[in-house]
Amino acid sequence: MFKVGIDVGSINTKVAIRDTDTGETVAIHVRPTGYKPRATAHAAYEACLQEAEIERSRAGRLVATGYARHAVDFAHASITEIKAAALGIRHWHPECRAIIDIGGQDSKVVVLDESGRVSDFKMNDRCAAGTGNFLAVLAEKLQVPLERFGPLALRSRKPVAISSLCVVMAESEILSLVAADTPVEDIIAGLHEALARRIANMMAPLDVRPQVVFTGGVAQNKGMQLAMESALGQRIHIAKMPLFAAAVGAALS
């Protein structure tokens, strides 16, 4: 038998299918969410089943998560992405006590107790500051593909201080830096540091203990991992399959 998790995020919709007999994740699928989350979730689900050659009748329980979870009206249940991320990350990282999840629309810090239960969480959800969107918008401004942000940041010798975390204000700040002929890798490293400071501030009032696991789309960026480690003063582990942690968690619930 199989269980399915669908994570309908603001940028991507992710599907994970677990074989309940072996405990293995046997199929994953990702596609852009677009502006019709229900239809996208349905199409992603069907595509994932097809890729894994699983008949729909054997798919079993389906749990939706992510910001548009309530739009998935063919799901048997829904859980928040906070609970889903906790389940998914803890499954792969049994020692994890805190999760940093930087997604397209928001960023979250989730604190887990010894048993893996969510004991506290904080979310930044008011604007793009502190989210993956912050980097995405500025990547466009700098005309650098987002996937090159990480490698370029690692080449930086002297990251510049970026004081604005508002995307609009940061754009102006970057214009001044570009005009002053600042190397692009130093600007990108500065952006990572600014974002990392924001996350560190969000974590400050929480009882965060090792191991800290970094997940969400931005966790694929190595430069961001180093900036987070520097801001927090501790080692950050990158989640196994960061994009799919919540979908796997939903399938585990």
Partner 1 sequence: MALIPRERVEEFRVERIAELQDFRRAGIKVIGYFSYYAPVEIIRVAGAIPVRLMRGGYDAEVRGERYLRSDACPVCLSTMGNFDMARSERAADSLYALVDAIVGVNTCDLLHRLPESIHRYFNLPVFELYMPRTSEPLPHRLTEFKRQLEWLAAELAAFTGQEFERERLTPEVRSSNHVRGLLRTLDDRRKHDGPALTESDVLNLVTLATILDGKRFAQFAADVELKAGSRPRSSNRSRLMLGGSEVAEQDRWLVETIEQKADIVTDLLSEGTRWFADDCNTEGDAMDNLTNFYFTRSPCMTRRPNDEVYANAQRRVEEFRVHGLVYKTLLYCDPWNFEAVRLRKEIGIPMLHIDGNYSTENREQLRTRVEAFLENL
Interatomic CA distance for residues 19 and 9, integer angstroms: 23
Contact 210, 203 (CB under 8 A): no
* Residue placing its CB nearer to partner 1 in the complex, 56 or 117: 117
Q: Cα–chain-centroid distance for residue 34?
A: 17
3-state secondary structure of 110: strand
| Tokens standing for residue 174 | 């970057």
* Residue placing its CB nearer to partner 1 in the complex, 120 or 229: 120
What residues line the site for partner 1 (CB under 8 A)? 67-68, 79-83, 105-106, 117-119, 121, 123, 125-126
Q: Cα–chain-centroid distance for residue 12?
A: 10
* Residue placing its CB nearer to partner 1 in the complex, 81 or 173: 81
3-state secondary structure of 19: strand
Least distance in angstroms from the C-beta of 124 to partner 1: 9
* Residue placing its CB nearer to partner 1 in the complex, 51 or 207: 207
Least distance in angstroms from the C-beta of 227 to partner 1: 24
* Residue placing its CB nearer to partner 1 in the complex, 118 or 144: 118
Least distance in angstroms from the C-beta of 202 to partner 1: 13
Interatomic CA distance for residues 242 and 57, integer angstroms: 29
Least distance in angstroms from the C-beta of 104 to partner 1: 12
Least distance in angstroms from the C-beta of 24 to partner 1: 26
Interatomic CA distance for residues 213 and 250, integer angstroms: 18
